[in-house]
Structure 1
Amino acid sequence: MTETETIVTRLPNDIGGLPAGPVQRVDHELEPWEKRCHALADVLDFHKIINTEEKRCGVEALGSEMIGQLTYYERWIVAFANILFRKQILTPGELAHKMDEVQGRSTPETDDDAAGSRRP
């Protein structure tokens, strides 16, 4: 395989061997929504709705640009939604309705717990 073929066939998260410098590891306490996201992944896998391989493929399907814009767990959430839509387990309208419902329950005490509250 030529260098060009290798670059073209790489998936967005396949950066091994590419010049990018060292990965900056940052240990931090998970936000409550990130813990819930991880728990959701476990539940979806336990009930055989979305397994680890499907999640990985779902994240890769987001493409390089979106992967670069989203945090680790944001990628998971978007991948879960796309997979649930594809499997016709959830519709975009149902998800939007639930998001509106949850947002309506938001109070100043729980706003810090919302996914994305850490972003400006």
Structure 2
Amino acid sequence: MTGSEHLLKRLPNDIGGLEAPKIEQTDHELLPWEKRCHALADVLDFHKIINTEEKRRGVEALGSEMVAKLTYYERWIAAFANIAFQKQLITPHELAAKMAEVEDRWEAHS
């Protein structure tokens, strides 16, 4: 290994040169929660809370195992949560409480 090679590390999104199955490119309608996730990303960026570069780094910070297990928008949500925790915008407890509240409302209307 050369002097600088140890500084370079393949990130989860860096899949160039790796063997992979054929990519199936299909257009599909986004699910309602995926549309809301995309809108959230736009709002966070517009208000300079979490920008696109932070989101990209946040997804990469999930690690290759999580990136492989989560869907595209699930990765975004996990990255947003982790970044919000790091910036002390919300605590894990506050997020869990809000998620429980939303789940209760959902079940009440189902």
TM-score (norm 1): 0.81
Distance 1:109 1:18 in 2: 46
Distance 1:25 1:90 in 2: 37
Distance 1:21 1:68 in 2: 13
Which residue pairs with 2:53 in the alignment? 53
Aligned identity (percent) is 72
Alpha-carbon offset, residue 102 of structure 1: 0.1
Which residue pairs with 2:92 in the alignment? 92
Alpha-carbon offset, residue 22 of structure 1: 2.2
User: Which sections of structure 2, spanning at least 5 residues, go unmatched?
Assistant: none
User: Which sections of structure 1, spanning at least 5 residues, go unmatched?
Assistant: 111-120
1:64 correspondence with 2:64: yes
Distance 2:59 2:12 in 1: 9
Alpha-carbon offset, residue 21 of structure 1: 3.3
Which residue pairs with 2:35 in the alignment? 35
Distance 2:81 2:60 in 1: 14
Alpha-carbon offset, residue 20 of structure 1: 1.3
Alpha-carbon offset, residue 108 of structure 1: 7.9
Which residue pairs with 1:20 in the alignment? 20
Give aligned pairs, total.
107
Distance 1:57 1:83 in 2: 10
TM-score (norm 2): 0.88
